[in-house]
A and B are shown apart, each in its own frame.
Chain A
Amino acid sequence: DTGVSQNPRHKITKRGQNVTFRCDPISEHNRLYWYRQTLGQGPEFLTYFQNEAQLEKSRLLSDRFSAERPKGSFSTLEIQRTEQGDSAMYLCASSFTGQNNYGYTFGSGTRLTVV
């Protein structure tokens, strides 16, 4: 396993349903990030973890969104009561701190469509 893995790759859900996405980072990376990307735009920061601690959440992350990273390994992003405006690509990325390397590795994303 040499990359960041995200599942599922695609998710179609009805408005009002709950959805959960999973991210498996590169194993030695201690930081994990969630971004959201809408069509024709750059990714926007949602939240990040250092090990198991969630250190920051963007104002974009409404109370319908929750993220966890139990034991500092994989992470889940849950969206409750989905709305059509939640339709986007949700990207996970990981990185390692402790050295002068700020490079992220992104996963291929989960594309959410809310109908």
Chain B
Amino acid sequence: QQQVKQSPQSLIVQKGGIPIINCAYENTAFDYFPWYQQFPGKGPALLIAIRPDVSEKKEGRFTISFNKSAKQFSLHIMDSQPGDSATYFCAASRTGGGNKLTFGTGTQLKVEL
């Protein structure tokens, strides 16, 4: 059972564009929603995270939008750069669940010059 669905599977944008990656979850007990960035041959690195008590969080060029009623959240990358080309994973966890993360299937982003 896939508890976190992520789309699109891949995305190509021009430099300066704003790629948007979407995730939907099923388990209403989830209360922590991070995004991870992964480069080839490396482990995932925490990018930004949000809790359901806010609808938006911004850190630098990265913004999470959160819609609790729809059980959806998304990542926006402002002014995207070629260095942002990587695979992005959304994830979710719940308090008391040992902080185990349930990951989406990933989005491969390519930012072209």
Contact of A31 with B99 at beta-carbon distance under 8 Å, contacts A43-B44, A102-B93 already known: yes
Could you tell me which residues of chain A, from 19 to 51, have a CB within 8 Å of some CB in chain B? 31, 33, 35, 40-45, 48, 50
Residues of B within 8 A of A4 (CB): 43
9-residue interface stretch from B13-21, B58-66, B72-80, B100-108: B100-108
Tell me if B101 and A45 are in contact (CB < 8 A).
yes
Query: Is A79 in the interface zone, CB < 8 Å from B?
Result: no
Interface size class of B (residues with CB under 8 A): 20 to 34
List, in ascending order, chain A residues with CB within 8 A of B34's CB: 102-103
Least CB separation from A6: chain B residue:
B43
Q: Which residues of the other chain, A, contact B100 by a CB distance below 8 angstroms?
A: 33, 45, 48, 56
With a CB–CB cut-off of 8 A, which chain A residues contact B91? 42
A69–B92 alpha-carbon span in the complex (Å) = 25
Instruction: For the complex, give the distance between the alpha carbons of A103 and B93 in Å.
Output: 11
Does A41 contact B106, Cβ atoms closer than 8 Å? yes
Name A33's closest neighbour in chain B (CB-CB).
Answer: B100
How far is A41 from B5 in the complex, measured between Cα atoms in Å? 12
* Cβ contacts under 8 Å, A106 to chain B: 36, 43-45
Given A45-B101, A103-B46, 20 other A-B residues pairs in contact with their CB atoms under 8 A: A31-B98, A31-B99, A40-B105, A40-B106, A41-B105, A41-B106, A42-B6, A42-B104, A42-B105, A42-B106, A43-B89, A43-B101, A48-B99, A95-B99, A102-B34, A102-B49, A103-B34, A105-B46, A107-B43, A109-B43
Task: State the 8 A-B residue pairs at the shortest beta-carbon distance, nearest first.
Answer: A42-B103, A106-B43, A45-B100, A103-B46, A42-B89, A108-B43, A106-B44, A102-B32
Which B residues are within 8 Å of any A CB, using their own CB?
Answer: 4, 6, 32, 34, 36, 41-46, 49, 89, 91, 93, 98-106
